[in-house]
Amino acid sequence: MTNETDEYYMGLALALAKKGRGHVAPNPMVGAVIVKDGHIIGQGYHEQYGQGHAEVNAFRSASEDVTGATIYVTLEPCSHYGKTPPCADLIIEKKVKRVVVGALDPNPLVAGRGIQKIADAGIEVTTGVLADESRQLNEVFMKFITTKQPFVVLKTAMSLDGKIATATGESQWISGEASRKQVHAERGYLTGILVGINTVLKDNPRLTARLPNSKNPTRIVVDSSLRIPFDRHILQDQDEAPTIIVTTDKADPDKIASLTERGIRVIVVASYQARVDLQAAMAELGALNIDSILLEGGAELNYAALAAGIVDKVQFYIAPKLIGGASAPTPVAGAGIAHLADALPITNMRTQMIGEDIFVEGYIKREVV
């Protein structure tokens, strides 16, 4: 079978995998397509965390006997018992002739063992077909499963001249309706949403994903002195979306107790320069299985997050507006960079129009040691 044919069917499997976005975390998004005699006889994807994996659903949908067929899977089949039995064992049991895999699974419990088990059973295995596409689709999983640290996306909306608000503090709305809709979709895709206490005090946001059939992220507030008032929206509706407050030892123990009684989880971490140590916060949040975070902070928190090295991806929505004002805030404040040579480089950038806004997305380039 040609590489072109393999890539075609793997492309179909990747399209299926994307349907699981926002529903399978902390598992990866995986799609599977079964082909026999040049025809698709089964297909499926991982639809919900804790339920059947892509391979299971593909075999269930098969319109005929899968013996001698080829199965295309976007990620290496699992070889261990989790919430479901190993998919590698199921593939062997079904007597397929060939397995084509996109990316290998970096999970230490799998990490090549699934492929090896299938190959040892005498089944032909091809790996690396559209592997980059599969890894990018599961960038959250790829980081979290190996580091136990959340994948952090810094999102901001600004004017064409780089302002996130006017000099008087007015910021709603800089971006257009189409951009705001996409942001709400992103909230539903990621596990957590992070803001600073100043955003909570100023805007009193709900931080929910207000789209049909979309789950709400866990709301996370960085509040080093625990200044949050009890009347804030995000403290009132824990059944709708849970809230976590990350604070330091400057917090009043009695207030911590009061918040805990209301169902609010309060995490106390070390301080760094009199504020929450964001690296320590990420470790604590990762331990709670929060694999991904949308950072919707203000300029100061954005700078602190970038300086702490916790940001993986940036998303900028640029509106066709000019605001001006020397004191009008920009997306990143703080001390800033003294020398251009030390500026944080952005790589793998892509741009697109969303309504009238320009959407720019890219990744923080890390030094390879």
pLDDT in tens, the chain (369 residues): 458 999 999 999 999 999 999 889 888 999 999 999 999 999 999 999 888 889 999 999 999 999 999 999 999 998 766 666 788 889 999 999 999 999 998 887 777 788 999 999 999 999 999 999 999 999 999 999 999 999 999 999 999 999 999 999 888 889 999 999 999 999 989 999 999 999 999 889 999 887 877 789 999 999 999 999 999 999 988 888 999 999 999 999 999 999 999 999 999 999 888 899 999 999 999 999 999 999 998 999 999 999 999 999 999 999 999 999 999 999 999 888 889 998 999 999 999 999 999 999 999 987 643
SS3 state at 206 = coil
**Whether residue 93 lies in the annotated active site:** no
Query: Which residues does the annotation place in the binding site?
Result: 53, 78, 87, 157, 171, 173, 187, 199, 203, 207, 210, 224, 296, 298-304
* pLDDT score at 82: 61
Fold of 148-364: Dihydrofolate Reductase, subunit A (3.40.430)
Pull the structure tokens for residue 357. Answer: 């806004």
Question: Pairing between strand 357-364 and 265-268?
Answer: unpaired
Asked if 202 and 175 count as a contact pair (C-beta separation under 8 A), the reply is no
* pLDDT score at 369: 37
Query: Which residues does the annotation place in the binding site for Zn(2+)?
Result: 53, 78, 87
Which of 7, 47, 55, 356 is an active site residue?
55
Query: Which residues does the annotation place in the binding site for NADP(+)?
Result: 157, 173, 199, 224, 298-304
Domains of the chain, residue spans? 4-138, 148-364
Pull the structure tokens for residue 344. Answer: 């944080």
Sheet holding 98-103, edge to edge: 39-45, 31-36, 70-75, 98-103, 124-126
Looking at domain 4-138, does it have CATH number 3.30.565.60?
no
> Would you call the peptide bond into 26 cis, given omega within 30 degrees of 0 as the criterion?
yes
Sheet holding 313-319, edge to edge: 265-268, 243-247, 218-222, 192-196, 292-295, 151-159, 313-319, 357-364, 346-354
Alpha carbons 290 and 324: distance in angstroms, whole number: 38
* pTM for the structure as a whole: 0.89
CA distances to 196, 233, 245 from 263, in Å:
20, 14, 11
DSSP 161: T
Query: Which residues does the annotation place in the binding site for substrate?
Result: 171, 187, 203, 207, 210, 296
β-bridge mates for residue 246, sequence order: 222, 267
* pLDDT score at 171: 85
- Is 4-138's fold the same as 148-364's? no
Alpha carbons 359 and 234: distance in angstroms, whole number: 28
